[in-house]
Structure 1
């Protein structure tokens, strides 16, 4: 999926859209997406000016956005303006390697379970094949009406 297709599945926009391309998506199973990290990211001004590092919570957010695309592809639907895809939980989050400008985050997410609108995922972010972040994510779609 290119960025235009991604925008159909995610309501996020600048500066919080954190998926640039989907390389592979197998509905009901897994997704492999990428986020290109550039020095132009707005968070680098303050995190940290002398040694820019992508905040771990934003790496988790990038993984959750990839998970959202996988969920919608699995359901065979696209989000509408009356629903939001929320975090329901994050377990076992570990940050193994800092992510810096110039890195490409490879986002790997697979479905562990889906029950009553709650999705559970195993998620990993890698840079140059090395594990940067891992976690189990729980997410849900909720109506905002």
Structure 2
């Protein structure tokens, strides 16, 4: 298991870049199996300009995207997928339980449950202060 990847290492693993990179750190990584990442939610995140002025809330779809990016680190850390691009293939069972607001530290946990060829499935959970704020089953293809 690898631990403590910083933003530079993340950017060497996945193709996402600002303003669409939603990972600040990887705390735990078992390539091809599981990952735990961190997104520090701040008022400087550009989506808060319009969602919602005076009542900033991180959009649920961006929480799912952050989970997918964390999962992409676990997949693209495998030698056979280095340098490839991950694409969404589907999202099932998405549930949002609490608002995510500036000042929150979003913990992103993804366990890959299926990886066959270039297709995979992951169980994803987002937490703030060890409380579940979102969860989903994410499906992806590597191109």
Q: Which category of TM-score, normalised to the shorter sequence, fits these structures?
A: over 0.9
Q: Secondary structure at the match of 1:38?
A: coil
The corresponding residue for 1:88 is 89
1:26 to 21, 24, 30: 30
Task: State the Cα distance separating 1:75 from its structure 2 match.
Answer: 4.1
Identify the residue that residue 54 of structure 2 maps to in structure 1: 50
Q: SS state of the match for residue 135, structure 1?
A: strand
Q: Assess if the C-alpha contact under 8 Å between 2:14 and 2:76 holds in 1.
A: no
Aligned to 1:129: 130
- Give ranges in structure 2 of 5+ residues lacking alignment: none
State the Cα RMSD in Å.
Answer: 1.1
Q: What is the alpha-carbon distance in structure 2 between the residues aligned to residue 61 and residue 28 of structure 1?
A: 18
Superimposed CA distance per residue, residues 23-45 of structure 1 (whole angstroms, 9 cap, x where no aligned partner): 00012321101000000011101
- Secondary structure of 2:99's partner? coil
Taking the aligned partners of 1:97 and 1:67, their CA distance within structure 2 comes to 22
Deviation at 1:84, TM superposition (A): 2.4
Change (3 A) 1:96 1:75: farther
Q: Are 1:9 and 2:31 matched, yes or no?
A: no
For residue 139 of structure 1, report the CA deviation from its aligned partner.
0.7
Query: Taking structure 1 as the reference length, what is the TM-score of the superposition?
Result: 0.92
SS class of match (1:51): coil
How many aligned residue pairs are there? 139
- How far apart are 1:76 and its partner, in Å? 5.4
